[in-house]
Structure 1
Amino acid sequence: MNYFVIVYYALLIGASCLAAYYGKRAAFMLLFSLTLLSFVMGIIGGEAALWTVTIVAGLLALAAGTAYAFREFLINIVGPQTAKLLRTAPLTAAFGMFVIFTYAVMGIFAPIIAPHGEAEVISSSFAPADATMLLGADQLGRDLFSRLVYGARNTVGLALLATLLAFLMGAFAGLMAATKGGWIDQAMGRMADVIMSIPSLIFALLLLSIFGTNVFVLVIIVAVIYSPRVFRLTRAVAGNVVVMDYVEAARLRGEGDWYLIRREILPNSTAPLIAEFGLEFCFVFLLIAGLSFLGLGIQPPTADWGSMVRENATLISFGEITPLIPAAAIALLTVSVNFVVDWMLWQSAGLKE
């Protein structure tokens, strides 16, 4: 047993004892659980396993510290009401906001951040990383880091545009169906059922094969595929609101459908719609990345994270993790958006601990 193992266990046990002595139950449970986990992993994997636990714990601590600092930064630059709201945000939501902010900066300032153009060939195929290429080169000799940065603009921007369009179409149709009722409600509901009955990936592949793979067609097809999901939720939520007494009172006053939607129904349906927007973005984002991986999404030479995974998949056979970097970027944004959406839903619904 070397000094690292002795110091490792001594620090964990000492920190656990201090947390127990000062009555910090949550900290004690976390530290002592980590001690027991390390003990089991140390027996199975030896010192290498303990180093793995140390690195993972360090990364989690770094993420928690970054989230806390970013939350405090936001609290100090916003108004009093927003600051009061942000103080209730958990570290997971703060971390999600930090990741979204980072991706937004990457997308907006991509030409400034990226050292090379997204389609610029600067080296040989699969050249290793060096001072000019942080992540090496792809199969054509283009800088992977630059393409990763430009991919934040292309992939995320296109997914956001498609989500907004799908949300506007589905939410408007759902609100109109709930307000009008009758044959309009039935017709819209059956159309949504037909579209939702077809698997989204197969439907997208079929339509893209027919209409082509340009960006405009891709946005429209993705929006059409996912708008029925928004329609079903909006129709269900608005259907519960439209029968309320205050809506009936507004009808008796002679208010029109647009007034009812804008002033009575929509303000009382925001909480689930906020959550649905975040979920829709994640679904659309993953679908576009999947289509690009299959070659029917964003077309070369435009940088896209899905196509980057496909183009560099050969490196996995040689033990390189480079193709996993754009995949990790996709997963990180998806998780971060869900963190923020969960907190916003918790706030909008007025839930209490």
Structure 2
Amino acid sequence: MSVFVIGYYAALIAASCLAAYFNYRRTFMLLFSLTLVSFVLGIIGGTPALRVVTIFAGALALAVGTSYAFKEFLVQIARPNLAKELRTAPLTASFGMFVIFTYAIAGIFAPVIAPHGEAEVIASAFAPPDANMLLGADQLGRDVFSRIIYGARNTVGLALTATILAFLMGALAGLLAAVKGGWFDQIMGRAADVIMSVPSLIFALLMLSIFGTSLVVIVIVVAVIYSPRVFRLTRAVAGNIVVMDYIEAAKLRGEGDWYLIRREILPNSMSPLIAEFGLEFCFVFLLIAGLSFLGLGIQPPTADWGSMVRENATLISFGDITPLIPAAAIALLTVAVNFVVDWMLFRSSGLKEH
């Protein structure tokens, strides 16, 4: 038995005993469960399996520490009311906000961070990583790391633009339908049902095959696909508000529809709408990445995470994980946004932790 194995189990058992002594039940259960799992993995996989567990536990601890530090940073710089809300945020939400912040910095400052241009050929095809290329080269000899950085700007930026357009279209139609009612509400509802009845990927492939794959067409098509979802939520939320007494009082004062929407309905429905914006972004982001993987999204030589997975997929056969890096970037952002959305939905539901 190596020194690493002895030290590994000794550290886990000592930490478990300390947690039990100071009555930290959750910490004790986590540490002792890790000890039992490590014991089984050690028997099956030996020292290499324990090293993998150690790396995973260290990465998890680093993520937890970073999330806590980032939350405290936000609490310090935020206004008192917002700081009070941030203190109640779980570490998962803090981790999500940190990831979103990191992606935003990478996208905004991509030309500064990336060592090479997104379409610059600097090596031979599939060149291995070196001091000049952190992740090696792709099928044309372009720096994979630089293209991933630029992909944060292109893929996320396009998804954010399409989400904003879809949200504006759907929310505006839903608010007007709730206020006006009647034939306008019926027409908008049936139109939303028709669009939602067609699978989003099939609808997108059909429209892009007809109108082309320019960025403007992609944004409009994706916005049309997902605006009915926003419409139905907005119509449901606003429909519960328009029957309130203060809305009737505003109507009796002679206030118009736009006043009711801006001053009465919209401020009282912001929480679910903001949470819905995060969910819609995830759907749009995954759809655009999927379209790029199929060759109908962002076109070369523009860097895009979906197309990068397709272009470097042959490396999987040789045991190279390069194609998994842009896929992991897609998955990480999706999970991070969902962490934040879950927290926002919890806050808007009015539930309290005990």
What TM-score, normalized by structure 2, do the two folds share?
Answer: 0.97
Determine whether 1:199 maps to 2:215: no
Question: 2:296 corresponds to which residue?
Answer: 296
Counterpart secondary structure, 1:301: coil
* CA distances 1:49-94 after superposition (whole Å, capped 9, x unpaired): 2222111111000001111111122222233332222221211111
- Assess if the C-alpha contact under 8 Å between 1:271 and 1:349 holds in 2: no
One-letter code aligned to 2:159: A
- Assess if the C-alpha contact under 8 Å between 1:121 and 1:143 holds in 2: yes
Determine whether 1:306 maps to 2:277: no
- Assess if the C-alpha contact under 8 Å between 1:162 and 1:220 holds in 2: yes
* CA distances 1:9-68 after superposition (whole Å, capped 9, x unpaired): 121111111111111111111111111221222232222222221111110000011111
Once the two structures are overlaid, the 10-residue window that deviates more, 328-337 or 270-279, is 270-279
One-letter code aligned to 1:174: G
Q: Distance in 2 between matches of 1:44 and 1:246?
A: 67
What TM-score, normalized by structure 1, do the two folds share?
Answer: 0.97
Question: 1:9 corresponds to which residue?
Answer: 9
Unaligned runs of 5+ in 1: none
Question: 2:233 corresponds to which residue?
Answer: 233
What's the CA shift for 1:333? 0.5
Q: Distance in 1 between matches of 2:274 and 2:208?
A: 29
Unaligned runs of 5+ in 2: none
Alignment: residue pair count: 353
Determine whether 1:248 maps to 2:287: no
Once the two structures are overlaid, the 10-residue window that deviates more, 252-261 or 292-301, is 252-261
Question: 1:92 corresponds to which residue?
Answer: 92
Counterpart secondary structure, 1:103: helix
Q: Distance in 2 between matches of 1:274 and 1:79?
A: 20
Q: Distance in 2 between matches of 1:272 and 1:78?
A: 22
Q: Distance in 1 between matches of 2:290 and 2:132?
A: 30
* CA distances 1:178-222 after superposition (whole Å, capped 9, x unpaired): 111111111101100010000000100000000000000000000
What's the CA shift for 1:347? 2.7
Determine whether 1:102 maps to 2:102: yes
Q: Distance in 2 between matches of 1:311 and 1:146?
A: 15
Determine whether 1:58 maps to 2:58: yes
Q: Distance in 2 between matches of 1:224 and 1:172?
A: 13
Q: Distance in 2 between matches of 1:49 and 1:274?
A: 43
Q: Distance in 1 between matches of 2:243 and 2:102?
A: 43
Aligned Cα root-mean-square deviation (Å) = 1.1
Question: 1:263 corresponds to which residue?
Answer: 263
One-letter code aligned to 2:248: E
Q: Distance in 2 between matches of 1:78 and 1:177?
A: 37
Q: Distance in 2 between matches of 1:237 and 1:76?
A: 34
Q: Distance in 2 between matches of 1:303 and 1:350?
A: 42
Counterpart secondary structure, 1:269: helix
What's the CA shift for 1:271? 2.0
* CA distances 1:267-289 after superposition (whole Å, capped 9, x unpaired): 22122211110000000000000
Q: Distance in 2 between matches of 1:176 and 1:328?
A: 40
Percentage of pairs with the same residue = 82
Q: Distance in 2 between matches of 1:311 and 1:23?
A: 53
Q: Distance in 1 between matches of 2:296 and 2:182?
A: 40
- Assess if the C-alpha contact under 8 Å between 1:270 and 1:348 holds in 2: no
Q: Distance in 2 between matches of 1:74 and 1:273?
A: 23
Once the two structures are overlaid, the 10-residue window that deviates more, 84-93 or 202-211, is 84-93
One-letter code aligned to 2:19: A
One-letter code aligned to 1:27: T
Counterpart secondary structure, 1:116: coil
Question: 1:73 corresponds to which residue?
Answer: 73
Question: 2:224 corresponds to which residue?
Answer: 224
Determine whether 1:333 maps to 2:333: yes
